[in-house]
Structure 1
């Protein structure tokens, strides 16, 4: 994952990521992001990652707006960036 713009403290005000969506941090726990991916895989009738990898760009492009957030809790980003750790 490469963060290209914004700061580690970037957040989105209510409605910025869609009507009816509340304010949210750019950073979400890995489990949240994985859960969203699993839900999409189920919606696309994909039992595993190989199935998703075989989908064409045209098939996946309509779903990209469902994944605007970044994951922490990974080897590369173990903790939520921007939080004070004193």
Structure 2
């Protein structure tokens, strides 16, 4: 909780939260961070599909990119959450 509060107090975006910071907070704060990410990108943070899918993608992304930032874990251009896979909806299309 202290890490999450420190990030918010400094005006940092949830997108800028590093995988290391995310890993160091408890499960409730991780859920709050996932909700904040969805909200920041104008996606429904109460949608169970969004929550579960983004949680899985962040977990996988952070496993592969431990120094990465959470904002890089998903394609935020979609009207609902989308994984960063070549066949997902993307801003590049």
Whether the TM-score (by the shorter chain) exceeds 0.5 is: no
After TM superposition, the score normalised by the length of structure 1 is 0.29
Query: Higher RCO, 1 or 2 (CA under 8 Å, sep at least 6)?
Result: 1
Richer in strand (by share): 1
After TM superposition, the score normalised by the length of structure 2 is 0.28
- Higher radius of gyration, 1 or 2: 1
